């Protein structure tokens, strides 16, 4: 623990400090005395807190392979959580970085009372600090359960450096208290556009309250109601502040500028030649290796609001064209619709095959997308045409890019804003958006026993409308045979909607953990139905379930039949325990 908390302040606070090189005041004291002298000093210092939001990094989408809806399209790519081969690490960057950020926040909080700021300004910066402290602690609790709680920045001799883990009940109450204070005292507009403000605090409160409340309910910890209530109340307020969603689902993820996009509460901005990312580039070549599973595709409803198992609109899943007919538009924004064109790879030129079935989704994509977003045919990072989708990883069509294992290549964050510049993507990343908040509200209200048709209309049906899917009628839900029989039919539809709306955004693994439903990952991860000799060459290396020549693609082995209870919490890094004998390991994980 001492190695985690004993971290000096960042040197890069503000340009005003650069002229102080000859000052003999110790660096930490110099930074504190000058930085916290006025309002602008607090503002400059707090910018580094925003690094806690990863934006379009890889951790979020990579975490999806730990659930049942994603597959790592690589040889031996099965998740260590699913194969049950996770080992106790000696160190953990998430653990270390979280405590480093908490120390930075606490330094600011420790100095607010020493300033000449007005009471209102002190309350505002205290609220900013409380928000970021709560955000970091919520991440720690979500992973590790009981964690050491510090409300001040300890000195070298502070006994808090060697404290035991604080019980979860105490930590989460502190988080809730911090967020409630921040909600009441932070400036409504924050410190300018796209900064932490009242709405951002409420958005995180809706997320944290749901996370903690459902964890408590489904892991039998008790006292779930206050957290669920806090989540619901925060979401209700946001639904008044942000009454509309963007008209197009893809706007939320592939806009060059998310400023002013309806329903976007906070976002990470990317700018050409300044701050860029590579997530979109990875999705436009073969580096990302993210595939949806057959189960994920089956989550997307038909236009009539029924699942593929009950809808008369669904014909079969034996051909890609048939499987994608009449589906939720969010599917077409997440997985390329099927097609075929003629091209000589590598080339940015193509011709049509003349077969109507090969281009039946071109019109759909022309209607719902544009040239800077998602078009057919799909392109790789430098604009070369992909001959067909699905494009399987046996390279049977001669192109070594944009390949898929399952046949459902994930491309939700792909756009054409910057072609021919690999790893220089500039689509902004939503940090908090109303799509999530509406899903949070629906689930929290159900868990509180207060879900009604009116709430369905204000949440689930607003999300469905963007996908051009019929509204949910709570009183007339079809008996979906794929439903977990232990889950109420209404809750099943709420969870389905959440999975579809947030597909690939890094939520689902944590959702399965809080619902106590990691049993879902003990099943086969399957891909499309293929017939060797027709869909792929007869001698294709693509494996089919049970070694058949026709059936569902099946790359990964069947996981162990039972998911261990102790796997629901991450292990405490062994190096931290070695430094602090008062730290204990989470039950079930080896202690040496």
Res. 229: pLDDT tops 80: yes
Alpha-carbon distance 479 to 487, whole Å?
12
pLDDT average, residue stretch 420-443:
96
Region 488-500: mean pLDDT is 98
Q: Which domains does the chain have, with CATH numbers?
A: 2-56+92-224 (1.25.40.390)
What residues does 275 pair with on adjacent strands?
271
* 237 vs 7, more confident: 237
The better pLDDT of the pair 346, 91 is held by 91
pLDDT in tens, 165-202: 999 999 999 999 999 999 999 999 999 999 999 999 99
The pLDDT value given to residue 24: 39
Contacts of 303 (CB under 8 A, 6+ apart): 313, 326, 327, 328, 468, 469, 470
Q: Is the peptide bond before 438 cis (omega within 30 degrees of 0)?
A: no
Token pair 């090189």 is found at 21
Centre a 10 Å sphere on the Cβ of residue 90 and count the other Cβ atoms it contains. Answer: 11
What is the mean predicted confidence (pLDDT) over 23-44? Answer: 72
- Mean model confidence pLDDT for the chain: 93
26 pLDDT more than 70 = no
Q: What is the pLDDT of residues 383-413, one digit of tens each?
A: 999 999 999 988 777 788 899 999 999 999 9
125-143 confidence digits (pLDDT tens): 999 999 999 999 999 999 9
What SS3 class is residue 113? coil
Q: At residue 19, does pLDDT exceed 80? A: no
Which residue carries 């908040």 as its tokens? 437
Q: Is the pLDDT of residue 237 over 70?
A: yes
Residue 8: the pLDDT is 25
Average pLDDT over residues 368-387: 93
Question: Sheet containing 339-342: which strands, arranged edge to edge?
Answer: 351-352, 339-342, 388-389
Question: Which residue would you say has higher pLDDT here, 393 or 122?
Answer: 122
Closest by CA to 214, choosing from 568, 566, 586, 455, is 568
* pLDDT value of position 71: 96
Report helix, strand or coil for 267: strand
Residue 29 burial class via C-beta count within 10 angstroms: exposed 0-12, middle 13-18, buried 19 and up: exposed
Q: How many Å apart are CA 508 and CA 491, to the nearest integer?
A: 16
- Distances in Å between the alpha carbon of 363 and those of 253, 323, 397, 503, 511? 22, 17, 24, 24, 35
Q: How confident is the model at residue 31 (pLDDT cuts 50, 70, 90)?
A: low
Tell me: pLDDT of 4 over 60.
no
Q: Is the pLDDT of residue 17 over 50?
A: no
pLDDT at 455: 98
Contact (Cβ atoms closer than 8 angstroms) between residue 536 and residue 542:
yes
DSSP element (H, E) containing 72: strand 70-72
Share of the chain above pLDDT 70, in %: 95
Whole-Å CA distances, 473 to 212, 232, 300, 328: 29, 21, 17, 17
- Whether residue 518 has pLDDT greater than 50: yes
Residue 233 has pLDDT above 90, yes or no: yes
At which residue do the structure tokens 């290549």 appear?
409
Which residues neighbour 150 within 8 Å (Cβ) at sequence distance 6 or greater? 5, 102, 103, 106, 160, 163
The predicted model scores a pTM of 0.94
Which residues are within 8 A (CB) of 343 and not within 5 positions of it... i.e. 6 or more apart?
349, 350, 351, 377, 385, 387
Nearest-angstrom CA–CA distance, 393 and 399:
9
């Amino acid at each position: 623990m001492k190695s985690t908390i004993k971290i000096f302040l960042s040197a890069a606070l503000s340009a005003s400090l650069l002229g102080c090189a000859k000052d003999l005041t110790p660096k930490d004291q110099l930074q504190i005395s000058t930085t916290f002298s006025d309002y602008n000093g607090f503002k400059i210092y707090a910018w580094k807190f925003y690094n806690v939001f990863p934006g379009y990094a890889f951790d979020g989408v990579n975490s999806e392979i730990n659930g049942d809806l994603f597959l790592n399209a690589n040889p031996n790519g099965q998740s260590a959580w699913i194969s049950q081969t996770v080992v106790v690490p000696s160190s953990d960057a998430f653990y270390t970085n979280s405590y480093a950020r908490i120390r930075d926040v606490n330094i600011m909080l420790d100095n607010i009372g020493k300033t000449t700021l007005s009471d209102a300004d002190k309350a505002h910066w205290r609220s900013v600090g409380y928000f970021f402290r709560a955000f970091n602690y919520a991440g720690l609790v979500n992973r590790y359960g009981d964690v050491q709680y510090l409300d001040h920045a300890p000195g070298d001799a502070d006994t808090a450096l060697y404290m035991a883990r604080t019980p979860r009940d105490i930590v989460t109450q502190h988080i809730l208290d911090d967020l409630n204070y921040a909600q009441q005292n932070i400036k409504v507009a924050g410190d300018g556009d796209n900064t932490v403000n009242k709405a951002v605090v409420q958005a995180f409160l809706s997320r944290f309250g749901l996370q903690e409340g459902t964890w408590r309910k489904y892991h039998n910890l008790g006292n779930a109601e206050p957290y669920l209530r806090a989540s619901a109340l925060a979401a209700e307020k946001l639904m008044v502040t942000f009454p509309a969603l963007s008209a197009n689902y893809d706007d939320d993820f592939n806009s060059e500028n998310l400023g002013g996009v309806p329903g976007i509460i906070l976002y990470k901005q990317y700018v050409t030649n300044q701050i860029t990312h590579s997530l979109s580039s990875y999705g436009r070549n073969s580096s990302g290796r993210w595939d949806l599973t057959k189960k994920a595709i089956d989550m997307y409803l038909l236009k009539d609001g029924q699942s593929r198992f009950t809808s008369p609109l669904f014909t079969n899943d034996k051909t890609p064209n048939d499987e994608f007919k009449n589906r939720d538009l969010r599917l077409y924004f997440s997985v390329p619709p099927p097609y075929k064109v003629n091209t000589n790879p590598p080339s940015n030129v193509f011709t049509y095959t003349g077969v109507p079935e090969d281009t039946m989704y071109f019109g759909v994509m022309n209607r719902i997308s544009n040239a800077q977003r998602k078009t057919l045919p799909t392109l790789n990072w430098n604009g070369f045409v992909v001959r067909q989708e699905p494009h399987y990883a046996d390279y049977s069509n001669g192109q070594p890019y944009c390949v898929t294992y399952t046949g459902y290549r994930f491309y939700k964050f792909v756009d054409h804003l910057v072609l021919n510049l690999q790893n220089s993507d500039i689509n902004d990343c939503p940090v908090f958006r109303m799509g999530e908040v509406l899903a949070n509200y629906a689930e929290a209200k159900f868990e509180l026993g207060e879900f009604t048709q009116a709430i369905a209309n204000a949440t689930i049906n607003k999300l469905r409308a963007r996908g051009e899917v019929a509204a949910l009628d709570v009183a007339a839900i079809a008996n979906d045979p794929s439903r977990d029989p232990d889950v109420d039919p209404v809750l099943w539809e709420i969870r389905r909607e959440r999975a579809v709306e947030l597909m690939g955004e890094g939520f689902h693994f944590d959702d399965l953990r809080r619902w106590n439903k990691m049993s879902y990952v003990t099943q086969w991860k399957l891909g499309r139905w293929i017939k060797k000799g027709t869909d792929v060459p007869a001698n294709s290396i693509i494996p089919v379930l049970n070694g058949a020549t026709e059936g569902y693609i099946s790359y990964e082995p069947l996981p162990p039949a039972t998911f261990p209870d102790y796997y629901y919490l991450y292990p405490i890094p062994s190096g931290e325990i070695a430094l602090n004998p008062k730290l204990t390991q989470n039950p079930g994980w080896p202690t040496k």
